[in-house]
Structure 1
Amino acid sequence: MAKQCNVAVVGATGAVGQQMLEVLAERNFPIKELRLLASERSVGKFLEYNGEQHMVQLLDKDAFEGIDIALFSAGGARSEEFCPIAAAAGAICVDNSSAWRMDPEVPLVVPEVNPQDIAQYGKKGIIANPNCSTIQMLVALKPLHDAAKITRIVVSTYQAVSGTGRNAIDELRIQSGELLNGRPADCEVYPHQIAFNCLPHIDVFLDNGYTKEEMKMVNETRKIFGDDSIGVTATTVRVPVFYSHSESINIETEKKLSAEQARELLANAPGVRVVDDVANLEYPLAVDAAGQDLTLVGRIREDESIANGLNLWVVADNLRKGAATNAVQIAEIVLEKYL
């Protein structure tokens, strides 16, 4: 019989939590007991998993007894409080918040990039899921980095509203309807209208003029690649798209990589699909990435302004590969190698 384990999903009623349930079912994760955990306001609700209804239970200090793997997607404050409790009860935690990402004793993992770092989980019993934008970027850049060593990354993101949560999805939908019918749009989730607009502002602004989201991409990239010498600069933008983040990425490398060499490397890379036939107007689109787990890469071309530069357009589903699927992939490795 295949190895099975007891799994808790923390924040099960949220957008990412429900996506985790879908991904667990799709990938036939071998679950013996599934425990859905959330705050008091969600206790007693029922969620479907694999055709069966499961009741949501209260997230408290006694919720993790007998749990082997705990998938967290309940926000940073909950993760800071309950990951140590779950780990003390014997669970290995995979946390989707930003709470533990830069902790030197917690591995920050993209399975296609640095799966070996999962072995470090024992220091705190926690493995961190990176930021959604970092995940898709590094899935695309890993084979290029291995081949030619990336020295600098300039990235601009175009991020879907689902990255903010269900209320943001509703805000874009409602604002679009109001504006198309000649009525003013109310702003509650974002500081400005998001419908038919772009906001160069994700998370809070820091003293250096960057946003917290931008600095996450900088710091997480260096940690995952294990190289603090890589120059990284980011501009993150919220756009009126429901699902899937898009990124314009420019890299400089130590060794020359032609566009054709890059395409070949990416065509053979795990988790990547090259969509790059401009003669037929084929390139990565958010609508094509939504609902699946591959990172789409296209518009691959040499940067003619520098000696060793490439430009890429990278798109992935932020709720799946950018969150739920990455966490479940980590859990699969944990189950296979560490339980």
Structure 2
Amino acid sequence: MALLIADDVHERGMSTYITKESGCLSACALIFLAGVERQTDGTLGVHQISSDSGDLVSAQLSISDILDVLNRFGTPIEVMTWMFKTPPNDMHVFTADEIESYKINRKRQGLAPTPSQTLATAERSANATTVTPSPVTPLATATKTSHDAVSNDEALANLSAIEDYTRRPTRMALYTGLDLFGDDIQAERTIDAAECAKTCLSMNGVCKAFTFNTSSKITKGPNCFLKSKEGRADGNSVAISGRFLSSVEPDPQNFTISTIDPTASLFKDVDLPGGDLTSRPAQIGGNAQQCRLACIDQGRCVAFTYIKRKKECWLKGVVGSPKYRAGLVTGIKDVKSFSAAKIISLQ
């Protein structure tokens, strides 16, 4: 049965891919090797065929059939060697070095994916390995981007089916109170977070994440910040952020960070006398934002005071009694845990 499936995969020009944390062993390997394009980021294992009949002629015919299809698939000779010398009650699992040395992974050069192409993803279930076909469709046309549109379209056209599959977003992890600080490629003004997410998604994979500022105080200028990557995770009570995940990426885990919320934990015209970590300002020049980040990055810092007039940043090891003092900005560090409020399917 595996040979019939493998032959069909090859005849249809399908591509095969083993995802991380997945395995393709025994007969599944025949199907994987049939891919016009093939790539394994998981486990690939082979061994001899097994038979209870003891019929030598039948066994030889089976081996002949296997050799015929493997040859048509362009299977590396080293793979066939391991397949036929590994006992049926054992399994040879290829190492990363062997996969590279034997050139097991293969890309179809010069051919762009079309809507009729299909990607076969080899996945391991509890008792057997299955191949799940899914259509490969062209990525949406970019509507807004600061990058050269022609170059981007050409790059997308040159993607192999596997590259297209592994980079195409299938889910969005949504966070509240989290700012993905920095790595902006574009800033927009949108009605809400949903429109911000759609704008990011329309950029053909250039935009990987976004942060939307929900503050009602921002009546003009951009409130949607589109990111080339996730950026620096930072707490901000008025922020909604989204990160796009491809089919090969696992759901994000919970994480904990030190933060000084620029909306809820910054206090204007407030001083924290004493408790300085050093006898000199940690930073001269810059601004209160840079002072805030310096405190977050300093493990011993629990607060900071920034003197605007002198452009001095004082990092604190102790939170003293607050006092009014014009022209100062003070921030208090906190530790917060974040988890995705929702993971939304894009399929």
TM-score (norm 2): 0.23
Greater Cα radius of gyration, structure 1 or 2: 2
Structure with bigger strand share is 2
- TM-score between the two structures when normalised by the length of structure 1: 0.24
- Determine which structure has greater relative contact order: mean sequence separation of CA pairs < 8 Å that are 6+ residues apart, divided by chain length: 1
